[in-house]
Amino acid sequence: MKVAVIGTGHVGLITSATMAYLGHDVIGNDLDEEKIVMLQRGQAPFFEPGLTELLEETLGSGKLRFSFDSQEAIRDADVVFICVGTPPKASGEANLIAVESAAKDVARYAGGRVVVVEKSTVPAGTSARVRRTLERERPDFIDKFSVVSNPEFLREGSGIRDSLEPDRILVGAESPEAFEVMREIYAPLVDKGAKLVETNIETAELSKHACNAFLAMKISYMNALARLCERSGGDVDSVAEVMGSDERIGSAFLNAGLGYGGYCFPKDLQAFERLASRLGYDFGLLKEVERINDEAVDATADKIIDVLWNLDGKRVTLLGLSFKPDTDDVRFAPALALGRKLQAEGATVVGYDPQAMANAKSEMPELEVASDPYTAAAGSHCLVLCTEWAEFKTLDLDRLKQAMAYPLVVDGRNMFEPEEMEKRGFSYYPTGRSPIV
Ligand code: NAD
């Protein structure tokens, strides 16, 4: 099929490349000209494992092209995926201006029958607005447009695998023809066993928010338990093991720590709560999930302040700056929220991350960065493990300790083994577990 993808960010670029890999003819379009020029040269504008190789393969096969010209991308397309950003407004509601603008482009440039797919995460009811925009902009074409909701569930860091081997593909549509087109486009994945779930549009839109909010809730639940464990002498990792071995609960997303971040959970949770409120339902649970998540960063900052007393003149090292491992994305990263709090208390904050240093520096210019973990730890009074990159598991702990002014480690992801830290002579402060002082 001929596919246009509007927005070549984390979702749009991976969608473009995987659709081309599945055999469709794809044009990726973005209003960021610099990004398009990079992509035309085969350069990925962000770090995602396997993406450069997939771009090379699909650009090489001629199945994938990129264009700054939205008319060129849209005019021959059978299917247009809208993958633009839906950032939060100050009120927490999703800002859907880019979705509207993409819908207007589709209306303006569609050359024939086209299925318009919302892949961006949007509040329930958005498809009706997209449809209205299409009809208003192109009244003569009303019968040619079908609107579909096909929310994206990929995770940064494993985005390509998630797209090629999804847990499920969710399609909400309003007509049998639109379902048929979506079945055809995903046939290569469904043939390999992917589960296709078909619903009405509002259910699909709502399900995406429901999933993200539920996962965020699991994390906040564990962080609330971490606070309790710290006060009672319990061990939150053992509690998680007990809970996770109950198949009704499941073991995923039961990690206490610095909390969730990134471009999905924080904004989607707020947008979901705002949507509920607009619909006349007070979904207070979601507000509490957000409060507990903020508290996770505050609790870690308090721990550091408690151990170091005054932060003025002290140096704190943050290991890991991205919101999670295997991505360079620092949007709403807990590490940066913590860094800002420590700086406000007077600390000098230095960070190291395997991939996200440039992005962290542009979000937080006053952050010092170092080229490796040992340089980052040099002269440091406290080291905080913020993001559980695999390379931190194999750190030379003796070298780290030698570099530091005080041998203090706060573990915001419970990555280190307490016995090992004790053996190496660190004072070790994990999350929701007994400290070793
Ligand atoms: P992103 O910021 O990485 O990319 C958005 C892209 O859209 C940018 O390149 C921007 O230049 C482009 N854009 C904006 N307006 C445009 C327009 N009118 N025409 C053409 N291009 C335009 O965002 P993202 O992380 O890819 O997220 C996109 C959507 O997918 C959001 O709704 C997000 O919530 C959702 N989502 C994200 C993830 C994730 O892990 N990042 C996962 C699932 C769903």
Per-residue model confidence as pLDDT tens digits over 349-393: 999 999 999 999 999 999 999 999 999 999 999 999 999 999 999
Query: How is residue 13 written in tokens?
Result: 């670029």
**In the predicted model, what is the mean pLDDT of the chain?**
97
Q: What pLDDT digit, counting tens, does each position of 281-340 carry?
A: 999 999 999 999 999 999 999 999 999 999 999 999 999 999 999 999 999 999 999 999
Residue nearest to atom 14 of ligand 1 (CA): 84
Q: State residue 156's pLDDT score.
A: 96
Angle between helices 10-21 and 51-60 (to 10 degrees): 50
Q: Please indicate whether residue 359, judged by its CB atom, sits closer than 6 Å to ligand 1.
A: no
Strands 195-199, 168-173: parallel, antiparallel or unpaired by DSSP? Answer: parallel
Q: State residue 145's pLDDT score.
A: 97
What is the value of pTM for the model shown?
A: 0.96
Tell the burial category of 420 from Cβ atoms under 10 Å away from its Cβ (0-12, 13-18, 19+).
Answer: exposed
> Separation of 337 CA from ligand 1 center, angstroms?
22
β-pair partners for 29 = 6, 67
Going 154 to 163 to 67 to 69, the CA torsion angle's sign is: negative
Residues 6+ apart with CB under 8 A from 210: 272
Cα 86 to Cα 101, 104, 123: the distances in Å are 12, 16, 10
As annotated, the active-site residues are 264
> Separation of 153 CA from ligand 1 center, angstroms?
13
Residue nearest to atom 25 of ligand 1 (CA): 10
Q: How far is Cα 228 from Cα 419, in angstroms, rounded to an integer?
A: 22
Q: Please indicate whether residue 10, judged by its CB atom, sits closer than 6 Å to ligand 1.
A: yes
Cα 4 to Cα 26, 115, 145, 156: the distances in Å are 6, 10, 14, 22
H or E element in which residue 383 lies? strand 382-385
By most ligand atoms within 8 Å of CB, the mutation choice from 15, 27, 30, 205 for ligand 1 is 30
- The torsion of the CA quartet 417, 419, 422, 426, rounded to 10 degrees, works out to 0
Q: How far is Cα 428 from Cα 352, in angstroms, rounded to an integer?
A: 20
Closest atom, ligand 1, to C-alpha of 46: 3
Q: Please indicate whether residue 83, judged by its CB atom, sits closer than 6 Å to ligand 1.
A: yes
H or E element in which residue 296 lies? helix 284-308
Q: State residue 60's pLDDT score.
A: 98
Q: Which stretches of the chain drop beneath a pLDDT of 70?
A: none
Q: How far is Cα 357 from Cα 322, in angstroms, rounded to an integer?
A: 8
Q: State residue 86's pLDDT score.
A: 98
Q: Please indicate whether residue 326, judged by its CB atom, sits closer than 6 Å to ligand 1.
A: no
Task: Give start and end residues of each alpha helix (H) in 22-112.
Answer: 33-40, 51-60, 70-74, 97-109
Q: State residue 134's pLDDT score.
A: 98
Q: Which residues of 29-43 are buried (b: 16+ CB within 10 A; e: fewer)?
A: bbbeeebbeebeeee
Q: How far is Cα 107 from Cα 141, in angstroms, rounded to an integer?
A: 8
Residue nearest to atom 9 of ligand 1 (CA): 9
Residue nearest to atom 34 of ligand 1 (CA): 121
H or E element in which residue 25 lies? strand 25-29
H or E element in which residue 372 lies? none
Cβ pair 138, 110 in contact under 8 A: yes
Query: How is residue 39 written in tokens?
Result: 């992509």
Q: How far is Cα 233 from Cα 252, in angstroms, rounded to an integer?
A: 24
Closest CA to 11 of 61, 77, 86, 76: 86
Q: Please indicate whether residue 178, judged by its CB atom, sits closer than 6 Å to ligand 1.
A: no
- Classified as helix, coil or strand, 20 is helix
> Separation of 392 CA from ligand 1 center, angstroms?
30
Q: Please indicate whether residue 263, judged by its CB atom, sits closer than 6 Å to ligand 1.
A: yes
Number of helices (H) and strands (E) in the chain: give both, helices first. Answer: 18, 14
Q: Please indicate whether residue 84, judged by its CB atom, sits closer than 6 Å to ligand 1.
A: yes
Q: What is the DSSP letter of 62?
A: T
Q: Please indicate whether residue 158, judged by its CB atom, sits closer than 6 Å to ligand 1.
A: no
Strands 145-149, 168-173: parallel, antiparallel or unpaired by DSSP? Answer: antiparallel
Query: How is residue 418 written in tokens?
Result: 């307490």
> Separation of 238 CA from ligand 1 center, angstroms?
38
Closest atom, ligand 1, to C-alpha of 94: 32
Angle between helices 265-278 and 284-308 (to 10 degrees): 140
- Classified as helix, coil or strand, 140 is helix
Q: Please indicate whether residue 20, judged by its CB atom, sits closer than 6 Å to ligand 1.
A: no
